Amino acid sequence: MIDKKMEDAINKQINEELYSAYLYLSMSAWFDSIGLKGFANWMMVQYKEEMEHATKFYQYLQSQGATIKLLTINEPPHEWESPLHAFEETLKHEQHITKCINGLVDLAEELKDRATYNMLQWFINEQVEEEENDREIIDKLKLVEGSKHGIFMIDKDLSSRQFTSEI
């Protein structure tokens, strides 16, 4: 049986993951509204991934016989100054999620909860990938800053991203 502290912390993480999904869905809508369909596609894939992350935590709590408490999801922003600004905010958000995951790992270690610790290793690896992807796009956006042609080339590149279910 899972410790109540861990149960509460994972319920909070489900909320963090759902907010992430909500944020990326909002970004997708914004990119679509400014005619950047590739960027919108990239964020839509991100939205779907975050929904799966929330589901992984949800299913883990279920497997542990824990009580699931879905919390209120905060309203995300609706527009950004530029594609670069949106991705800088994405990176900041993913760094926040990394801190949250690390906090869960710390709690699992404190509670000697090896099952949760083991489950969280997947999320640690996922966060390394998330931050790396964001930095790569930020670097590209900085290289083409001020070039509409460059933005459209990146947009075309981002349109090829496809969602692959992980659960």
Domain boundary assignment for the chain: 4-158
pTM for the whole structure: 0.95
Asked whether the predicted pLDDT for residue 167 surpasses 80, the reply is no
Cα 87 to Cα 11, 16, 56, 120, 129: the distances in Å are: 27, 18, 25, 25, 15
* pLDDT tens string 60-94: 999 999 999 999 999 999 999 999 999 999 999 99
Interatomic CA distance for residues 156 and 150, integer angstroms: 10
> Span 98-115, mean pLDDT?
98
The predicted pLDDT at position 2 comes to 96
pLDDT band with cut points at 50, 70 and 90 for residue 124: very high
Residues 68/61, Cβ–Cβ less than 8 Å = yes
* pLDDT tens string 41-66: 999 999 999 999 999 999 999 999 99
What CATH number was assigned to the domain covering residues 4-158?
1.20.1260.10
